[in-house]
Amino acid sequence: MRIGFIGLGRMGANMVRRLIRDGHEIVVYNRTPEKTREIAGEGAIASFSIEEMVGMLEGPRAVWIMVPAGDATEAQIAELMEHLQPGDTIIDGGNTNFHDDQRRHPDLKGKGINYVDAGVSGGIWGLQVGYCLMVGGDKDAVDPLLPIFTTLAPPNGYMHVGGPGAGHYVKMVHNGIEYGLMQAYAEGFEIMHASDYDLDLGSISELWMQGSVVRSWLLELAGRAADGVILGTGFDLLVYDWAKQKIRAGSAQAGRKESDVAVIAAGMLCVRDDGNEARKIVRNRIANRAHHNFRFTYETVPPEELDGVKKFMAGFDVMKPMEDRVDPDLVNDYLVHRFSIAGTPKECIERIEELNAAGVEHLMLTAARKVYHESVEIFATKVIPHIRK
């Protein structure tokens, strides 16, 4: 088949690679043209605008969107609708809230456009082992896409689970089970780590993969020694020290040096000439990250901030659209400071140098989407050149 594909992140690019290797013709578009050129060198067909991509497809067209759920997906659908024709199909492969699918389906169907929602699991390993696909939508829209689904999935790894929204609904439950499994494993290994026995936790995880009823892909990953750890727990120095203690203990258990494991602190970035404006922008964007951190424990929250964090968690509604899940007033200054680097160039320089002085050597920063290009430009021109090495 020939289809369009929007979004060439790590997962999207590997999905395109898997499709190309099975003989499909994939017309790709990505917001940053460098990734488009890169994947075109591996056999994809490059396009540099949505209009160009649609023009390179013959009707009835199919376009797969693989970008972050929420505003980014809505923007791609809106632009696609300026160019698609009745009978064409949009496939949303992101982690979209199924309520959004239920809203989009009748709206697009009324304009003659088919809408299919696809929950995708497999991560960066899907290129080799395939992607588990949970697909929702009308049968007459889903069936023509079967060659794409069967290429992406391993044997028996694809299922049309139900009508519009069903794919993302099943994926939502899947993700909840995944998080529960990870928490159960974490608690189990923590209990063993705290015992009086000198246990080799890595070897035990490998042992449990051999016939045990608790064996799983997640457990297999737990048995692999990491070369790096990405901390989504925030930039607060107390949290960083807490995480380093955990990594130090884990390295010792695995017989590795702590210096063998790179520690990368991850969070959001917003740089503006008006620091208050930067913090206001980021306040609405860090809610999901903060909620995910505090779902299972408040261990890393200072006592004086605990009441505010608990109010934030109580007011967070994961079933609502992303932008409406929590009152922004509940995202207090502590959360903004912990999960972002936001402010004027001078404030950001001081914050990064403070982190660096405390031993934080690697940062993974995601610029706020609302002012993405401006933040990246200001960061590159007014922050990076002034950070002391």
The Cα 240–Cα 233 span in angstroms is: 8
Q: Is the pLDDT of residue 106 over 70?
A: yes
299 annotated active-site: no
Q: Which residues contact 294 (CB under 8 A, 6 or more apart)?
A: 301, 309, 312, 313
pLDDT at 321: 72
Q: How far apart are the first and last CA of the chain?
A: 51
Tell me what percent of the residues of the chain surpass a pLDDT of 70: 93
pLDDT at 225: 47
Q: Is the pLDDT of residue 344 over 50?
A: yes
Residue of higher predicted confidence among 131 and 68: 131
The Cα 372–Cα 309 span in angstroms is: 27
Mean pLDDT, the chain, rounded, equals 88
Q: What is the DSSP letter of 226?
A: P
Region 346-358: mean pLDDT is 89
Tell me what percent of the residues of the chain surpass a pLDDT of 90: 53
Give me the helix-helix angle, 98-109 and 71-80, nearest 10°.
10
Q: What is the DSSP letter of 60?
A: S
Write down the catalytic residue from 25, 51, 79, 178. 178
Going by C-alpha positions, the residue among 64, 73, 51, 49 that lies closest to residue 19 is 64
The Cα 66–Cα 367 span in angstroms is: 19
Strand-pair partners of 26? 3
Q: Which residues contact 1 (CB under 8 A, 6 or more apart)?
A: 24, 25, 62, 145, 147, 148
Q: Which residues contact 138 (CB under 8 A, 6 or more apart)?
A: 114, 163, 164
pLDDT tens profile 179-233: 888 888 888 888 888 888 888 777 788 788 888 988 887 776 665 545 566 677 7
Q: Is the pLDDT of residue 248 over 90?
A: no
Using an 8 Å Cβ cutoff, are 95 and 168 in contact? yes
* C-alpha distances in Å from residue 80, one per residue of 73, 95, 108, 134: 11, 19, 11, 23
The token pair that represents 166 in the structure block = 């069903």
pLDDT at 207: 87
> Per mean pLDDT, which range of 119-123, 251-255, 261-265 is the poorest?
251-255
Using an 8 Å Cβ cutoff, are 142 and 113 in contact? no
Region 281-294: mean pLDDT is 82
Residue of higher predicted confidence among 148 and 31: 148
Which position has the token pair 């079967």? 146
Q: DSSP characters for 251-311?
A: HHHTT--GGGSEEEEEEEEEE-SSHHHHHHHHHTTSHHHHHHHTSS--TTS-GGGHHHHHH
Which position has the token pair 């130090």? 248
Using an 8 Å Cβ cutoff, are 76 and 21 in contact? no
Q: Is the pLDDT of residue 287 over 80?
A: yes
pLDDT at 186: 81
The Cα 171–Cα 69 span in angstroms is: 13
Using an 8 Å Cβ cutoff, are 244 and 262 in contact? no
Q: What is the DSSP letter of 121?
A: E
Query: Does the CA dihedral 316-339-253-222 come out positive or negative?
Result: positive
Q: Which residues contact 225 (CB under 8 A, 6 or more apart)?
A: 202, 254, 256
pLDDT at 298: 82
Going by C-alpha positions, the residue among 135, 107, 104, 2 that lies closest to residue 56 is 2
**Per-residue pLDDT band at 71 (split at 50, 70, 90):** confident
280 annotated active-site: no
Residue 361 phi, psi (nearest 5): -100, -20
The Cα 20–Cα 40 span in angstroms is: 10
Alpha helices in the chain (DSSP H): 10-21, 33-40, 50-55, 71-80, 98-109, 126-129, 139-142, 146-152, 166-193, 201-208, 217-222, 237-253, 275-283, 287-293, 306-314, 333-339, 345-357, 372-378
Q: What is the DSSP letter of 44?
A: P
